[in-house]
Each structure stands twice: as structure tokens, then as C-alpha cells.
Amino acid sequence: MSKKQKCLFRRGTSVVAGLVCACAAAIFPTSTLEAQARWQEIGPEGGFVVSFGQDPNRPARLYTGTIARGIFFSDDDGDSWSNTDLRSGPPVRILTAGTGAAQASTGDGVYAGIGVDVFHSANGRTGWSSTGLMASSTVTAIGLDARFAYAGTSTGLYRLDSTGWNRIGEDPPIGDGHIRAFHHAADGTLYVGTNQGLFKTNDGGESFSPIAPDLFEDVYAIAADPGSNELFVFNLTPRGLYRSQGGGSGSWTLLTDNLPLTNRLQSVSVQPHPSGRALYAVTNGSLLQSTDLGASWQLLDVDYSDRFAAIGIFADRTTPGVLYAPGGLGLARSFDSGETWSLANRGRRALTLDDYVLADSTPPTIYASSTQGYVYGTRDGGPSWDLLAQPEIEPSARLAVDPRSPDTLYRGVSAAVLRSDDGGETWTTPDMSLFCNIVSTLAIAPSNPDILYAQGYPLATACVLGQPQACYTHRSLDGGQSWSCIAEIGPTATRLTVDPRDSDRVYALSRSALFRSDDGGGSWGSLTQSLEIPFLDFVLDPSNPDILYLTNEDGLFRSSDRGATWVRWELEPSPGPFTALAVHPQKTDNLYALAGDRTLWSTDSGRTWRALAGEPADLGLRGPLRIESRQPGQPDRLYAGTAGAGVVRRTAPVETECTPGAQTLCLGGPSGDRFEISVDWRDFQGRTGQGQGLYLPNGPGAFWFFHPDNIELAVKVLDGRPVNGHWWVFFGSLTNVEFTLTVTDTTTGLVQQYFNPLRNFASRGDTRAFDDSSLFLAGSSDFTAEATGATSPVESMMLIPAGAALAETAAEGGCAGDTTSLCLSDRFRLRVTWQDFQDRTGTGQAIPLTDDTGSFWFFAPSNTELLVKVLDGRPVNGHWWVFFGSLTNVQFTLTVEDLATGEQRDYVNPSRNFASRGDTRAFDS
């Protein structure tokens, strides 16, 4: 029996519902749950900033250069940020004159160094183009003066003039030195810091003069006091920050005897200060200040700067006391000369993820770690994030969350797995650390979350040599409080996965093999000796964990026996390597994958795939992919990690079957079960209820409110995508009580609701109800596996035989209907004539439904256009009542004839109108 036959169609005698005369009112759609058909960035905001700049002509315009998302700009002093259109997938290093990031120069626009080239934009936002440098080594600094742009690399210095880029400074004293810093002084002098010393030029680079060659051998940073001609230079050999008056022509004084320089000074700046002038410096990621020209130094906002990992400190060009510090968390800003700091990251999402996990909560709790080792958390699904942890010894953090509690979080770092029981607010270190380990992957046993598995790799070569007994694969039986060594897997695992039914069955994926242990890690066996490497991702089928999926650079493998045997599905054409894979937790025929810059969707367990729309190239999609299964009526969501945009989320389309029920109809789609339809009503006495569903013989659905013999509403869903890219919803009511019709697209999760107020008869055709035209990537091909028997059975749809109903109706009384007329209440004959938009005419074809209700189709038997009923309202007002609701907007005339009296009524619907009416004085008794 088909699903639709389970909803029985009942026939019987007429019952009068509580109806009154109609008054003019309009039906309108209520709020719509928008399907996020494209990837949406949900944070965290921030990301590692490697460079900063301020436009000298528009001081409110700031620039930040990020590792993997290109350049961001702000026009409000950093209060909000937007991407420029200069974006890059590989790591981006952006450095320019004076500021080390991006600087505007009158008439010259903005220059940015990325890789071995320099890019230019006239407005600093759009229209970036290569200047054609293409140096032999990476650009490390950019400088500008009134006439030229300069690019420093690790092997030399270049100048951009009207002829293009030309090598300069090849003769001594610059030679082939590593160019580290530029400073353009107010008098036009250009200072250049290299690994061979400090130099200056006053003629645009035609000639260079060394400055204090006996003192400087390796210059890293240059700064100048904007109110004087003092120059400040940080030199690595000998180490120290030096000051000179006269633009470097005077004597030099060492300022940093009291500054603990354990590494190179990363940045230095000078700015007016309430005490006179202040020097600011960054060393080892810490922010420091001196108000006595280096005689003494103090850390600024110690708690903040220690976890910020600043790479520079820059003074605002126009506002004393305002400082900017880029670093691992983004851009920090101070308005009080560095006493306090806050992040200025709104809109600047440039985070490269190391890992993220979803906790089982509503709204979802998400934890994410960046490749710099910071850990963030959100409890509202992404609008707001908190920083939960800073980097440990190594900038890496693998995450795992207890399925029983969203607040219990594990964080794998160097030599330990840390645990938090308060959502990352505080962390505890277990008694037994995983010495010599950098934890590379963590897994929790779903059937017993106190059992965890961890694998790592050596912290350093010295560990391998000095601790030959060190173990790199561990298990904990007490929630991470203690760890025991288990059998070594061999290659470092990129993914550990525990069978949800058996805490002792664990899988370990490496680039070269997939292993399985059935004894809690006591021993491991390879499952992939005959499969081609390298392997990229591995997942279990949540409903049947014996089914495994494995990807490599050329294909997709499936096993139904825990990896004992595999079937390879070679897709034609090849979509490219599947770098990440996910299986829907309930509808496990639905698989999702990342292949290059595309997101793919399969509805048949991976045999065929379609490319989904909505993959901005600059997101850097990288996985893992995870599914959040939402509440009924809400769309499922697909999450992905990125190499430059934090966590991203989109609606997960699901090829699923609507489940019909007493109050639920399933209509539309290839199998007639894509759209879930229900209705809620409220009558004139304030009583409420849910409509009870019926399937009409020729395709549409209907609902009754008060009695199964009294149909109140008919609805149909048509595939209008060939016309306008949308699914269409048509409905017509035979009632004027208040109701809300809810239609849910089970594939996209999109919901439309239509509200009808009291005393209104509603009929409507919504030809833009559901849009899935953007679901698939335009012009994409289907990727189909070369396999036999890879088809899914489709249940045939059976309808109630219309002929049987006609015969039964004709036998019940003297009024006999035929193919073009209905006979209702054994007294009234109804006919319909129609005229379409091309002026073609015809007669409606009749389908009786109950003794008092029937329908007509105009163009095809499967497409009902009009529903009509005649009720005996004489006990109420002495009249017979005629109600009709149209599912069409072509012109038609409904003719109702009272065979007892010969009286006739014509109801005319004009072209392009959806008619619904209740005539409670149609015929006298």
C-alpha cells in the first residue's frame, strides 16, 4: 500500500459547518524561514593579521593584511571592516612603506606585496592588478616616496617607475642584502634597513649611502619621531634599539639596555604622550612602552598582550594616544596610549581553523581553534564568540566535546590533553601528561564518553632521541584524567573515529592507510592494503556503522563490512579529490563532500553527485564537514571549516520523504512527497484545531476541519521551475474561518505560511513560493558512478479511481452526473466552462468527491482547478449554500442548476483572478 493510501478518503452525508456570509479580505503569506542556500560566515571574527596601514590622506581609512583572506579595509577607524577584492588562498604577506602593511599616496593609490609580486589599486578597495614585479624571491617590504614605489625582497631591492620594475642598489653598499624595512622621512629621504645595515637615498634610489656602518649590521625596524628629526633603529647585530638626531647623521644612543630582548624586536613606533614622547615596541609578541626614551620599559596590559601575540605596534597619524597592534587575534586598539586595549574586529573574519566541534544543544554550541592555537566558543550558533584559550607550547589545538554535556570540552595541545567542564572558561591539566607529544587528533567514544583516544607526533627530534620510550597513541578510561599507552598505529593519524556502538572499536585514518582496532587499541590492522593512497577523509554511516566511506585523491570507496571489502565508485566526470565528507545523521542516503572549491551532494549513498551553488572562492573550504540536525520545521545545517573565514554554515539540502499523517499531506516532487503541508484553524467561537488531510483522486490534497464529509480547503504544489525557477503553491478554500496553511520544502527546509483571516474566503496561486533554482551550481554536470544496480526503488503513486466514484454517485439518486457535470446533494447539477490566456475555451471535467463536494480539471486529469460543494443550510437561514475555491486564475464560469426548481446560478471568475466564495443565499428551499 502506498503512503498516500494510508490517509483514507471518506464519503458520507452533508453536515453544516459554522459558517457565515463572506466579507472582503485578503489572504497573505506570513513570515518565511529563509533557506541559507549559500555558505554564510558565522565567525569567529579576527584571524591573524600580519600587516597594518593607515591612509595618510584619509586617516579614518585603515588596512589590515591577513594570512589567508587578503586585505580588509575600514573607513571608521577600525569600528567595522570589509574585504577588499584582493584576496588570496595561499598565505598572504602584505607590507608597504613605513607602516608595514598598505599605505595610500596621493595619485599612487595603494600597493600591497603578496608572494613575489606587488599589486596596486587606485582606491584601495577594488580593481587590484599586478604591477608585474614577479621577483625571484618573496616580497618582504614595500616603500613609497613622492615619485616611486619600492619593493624589498630577500635577495634585493626593486623600484617601480614609468618603465616598470627595475633592480637598483646592486652595487655596494646594498648589494644582494635582505630588505627588511623602509622609512620615508618628511624631507624626502628614504631609509632602507637590510641584513647588511642601514642605508638612505635622496635621489630615488640612484645612489645609497650607508649610515653608521660600523654599528649596524642587521636592521629590522625603523621609526621616526613625527615632531622632530630623530631616528630610531632596531639592529639585531649587535642587538638593540638605537636613537639618533639629525636623521641619522648624529651620534647613536642605545636605548634598550633594560629591555629583555630574547628575540628580534618586531616593531617600534614613536608618539606624543602626556609625559612628552613615548616609545612603543613589540618583542616576543608582548607590547611595551617607554616614556623616558628607553631608560625603562613596562609591559602594556599584561594579561591581554601575553595572549595576543602582537607582531607590531603603530601610532595613529592624527590622534595622540591612539595605538594599533596587529597580531594573532586580529587588530587591537588603544585610546589611552596603551594602558588598555580592545579588539577592533567587527566584520573582519579571516580565521584559519585548526579544528571545530558542534555540541548537542539548541542553539548550537560551537568550539573552534585557529591554526595559531587560540580556542573560541559560541553558545548562540555564531553571532557572538568568546576567546577561551590561548596557545600552548605549539600553536595547535585539537578539540572534542562530550556528547552528554556541551560544557565538557577537551583540548589537545603539546604534551597534554586539557579538560574544561565549564565550556572553556577554565581548564585542568591531568596528572599524566602526554610528554613528547603534539596531539594531532582526539576522539570520544559515543557509547561511553569517559573513554577517549588520542594520537600525536613527536614534539621535537630531541624527544625521539632522548625519550625512546615515549608513546604517541593513548587511551583514557576516566574522562582524560589519566592516560595509558596503547599499541602504536604507525603513521600519524589525521582522524580517529570510534564506533558509536562499541567503545573498543576505533578507526584511525592516516594519509597512507586506514586502521581498525577491535580491542581498544591493543592491536591494529590495516584495511586498505589494496587501495590507492593518499587518503583524505573517512566517515561512518551513523545509522549502520558497519558501512564506511573513504576518500582519496581519485575517488570514493564504500565498505558495508567494516572495511573487510571495498567498492570503488569512479565518478564520471571526475569532480576532483573529495577532501571532506559527511553523512546525514538520519537520512543516511544523503552525503555531502568538498571537492576543490565545490560542495557536492549525493542522495543515493554516493553513487551520483551534484555541485551545490554558493562557494565563494576566498573562503578556502577545507573541512571537516559536520551536520546539525535541527528541530522539525527547521532546515538541517551543514558546517565547514575554512582556511580564511572561520566556521561557515549553509542549509543542508536533504532528499527526504515527507511522512504523511492524519494532519499532514505530502505533495509535489518526483515521488509526490517533497512538500509537507498542514493547516491550523480557529472558528468564530475561538475554538482551534488542526486540519485533517485527504488526498483527492486527481492529485491535489484537501483538509476537513469539522467533519470528514465537509472539505474546507484544497491545495496543490506544481513544479514551475521550467517557467520561472520556482515551485508553485495553489490553494482554494471552501470556508471562511481563520486558518494558517503551512507548506515546508523537506529538501531545502524552506517554509511558507499563508494566513487567512476570519470571514474571508481565500484562493491563491503563489508562483514564487519556493526557489531552489540556486541550489545547484550553474552549468555543473552530474557526477555519476560507473556501477551496476545502483538505482533506488521509487514507490508508485496510486490514486482513488475516479470512475468508481462516478458510478457510485450516479446510483444514489435521480440526479446523474457525467464526465462534464457534477450532481451534488442529489439535486444540483454543476458545470464549468473556461477560457485560458490564449483565448482557448473548454469544459471542465468533473470528479465527484462526496455527496456534496466535487472538483473539476481543465487541462490535465492530474491538475485539479476548481473545488465546489453545495451544503444544506436551510436549518440556519432557509437556503442552500454554494461554496467554491479555485486553484487556477484562468477565466471560468461555474453554473449551478437546482433540478428541483429549475433555478440556476452563474458564478464568473475573471481572467488572472483566484476566486473563492461562499454564497449562503444561493437557492431557496
638: nearest Cα among 89, 69, 35, 32? 35
- 402, 424, 403: which is closest to 479 by C-alpha? 402
CA dihedral 169, 174, 175, 177 (to 10 degrees): -120
Of 752 and 670, the one with more pLDDT: 752
- Read off the pLDDT band of 1 (50, 70, 90): very low
CA-wise closest residue to 568 among 784, 783, 787, 781? 787
Q: Residues 6 or more apart from 860 whose CB is under 8 A from it? A: none
pLDDT at 101: 34
**Residue 794: band (very low, low, confident or very high) from pLDDT cuts 50, 70, 90:** very low
Cell 483571516 found at: 757
Predicted local distance difference test score (pLDDT) of residue 455: 93
215 contacts 243 by C-beta, under 8 angstroms = no
Least confident of 22-31, 223-232, 286-295, 637-646: 22-31
Provide the strand spans (E) within 668-735: 675-682, 688-690, 692-695, 701-704, 711-720, 726-733
Q: What is the Cα gyration radius of the chain?
A: 36
Residue count of the chain: 925
C-alpha cell at 473: 597513541
Which grid cell sits at 81? 571592516
305 three-class SS: helix
The secondary structure of 349-377 as a DSSP string is B-PBEEEEEEES-SSPEEEEEETTS-EEE
pLDDT above 70 (res 267): yes
Position 176 scores a pLDDT of: 65
Mean pLDDT throughout 259-272? Answer: 67
pLDDT-derived band of residue 11, with 50, 70 and 90 as boundaries?
very low
Per-residue pLDDT at 5: 33
727, three cell numbers:
515551485
Cβ atoms of 683 and 743 closer than 8 Å: no
The answer to whether residues 839 and 880 touch, using CB atoms and an 8 Å cutoff, is no
pLDDT digits 0-9 by tens, 378-436:
999 888 999 898 876 666 789 999 999 999 999 998 888 999 999 999 999 876 668 88
First-to-last alpha carbon distance for the chain, in angstroms, is 44
CB 156 within 8 Å of CB 192: no
Has residue 492 got a pLDDT over 60?
A: yes
- Residue 488 CB: number of other CB atoms within 10 A? 12
E-strand ranges in 342-450 read 342-343, 353-359, 365-370, 375-378, 386-389, 398-401, 409-413, 416-420, 437-444
Order across the sheet with 49-54: list the strands: 49-54, 62-66, 71-74, 82-83
pLDDT at residue 523, as a whole number: 96
Q: Which three cell numbers stand for residue 499?
A: 564506533
* Distance between CA atoms of residues 154 and 148, nearest Å: 20
Q: What percent of the chain has pLDDT over 70?
A: 84
Read off the pLDDT of residues 880-901 as tens digits, 9 standing for 90 and up: 989 898 888 899 999 999 998 9
Please report the pLDDT score of residue 849 as a whole number: 86
Predicted TM-score (pTM) of the model is 0.74
| pLDDT tens sequence across 245-258 | 888 888 888 887 66
Average pLDDT over residues 691-709: 87
Q: What is the pLDDT of residue 641?
A: 92
User: Is-contact 739 760, C-beta < 8 A?
Assistant: no
Q: For strand 286-290 and strand 701-704, is the pairing parallel, antiparallel, or unpaired?
A: unpaired
> 522 pLDDT exceeds 90?
yes
Can you give the pLDDT at residue 345? 92
Dihedral of the alpha carbons of 767, 770, 774, 776, in degrees to the nearest 10: -120
| Per-residue pLDDT at 97 | 36
Take residue 642 and report the three cell numbers written for it: 575554512
Looking at residue 673, what is its pLDDT? 84
The DSSP secondary structure of 581-592, one letter per residue, reads: EEE-SSSTT-EE
Taking Cα atoms as reference points, which of 328, 321, 306 lies closest to residue 77? 321
Name the grid cell of 489.
Answer: 598505529
Question: Are the C-beta atoms of 549 and 591 separated by less than 8 Å?
Answer: yes
At 307 the pLDDT is 60
The larger pLDDT score, comparing residue 527 to residue 864, is at 527
Backbone angles phi, psi at 591, to 5 degrees: -115, 155
Q: Look over the chain and give the mean of its residue pLDDT values, rounded to a whole number.
A: 82
pLDDT at 36: 58
Report residue 692's pLDDT band, with 50, 70 and 90 as the boundaries: very high
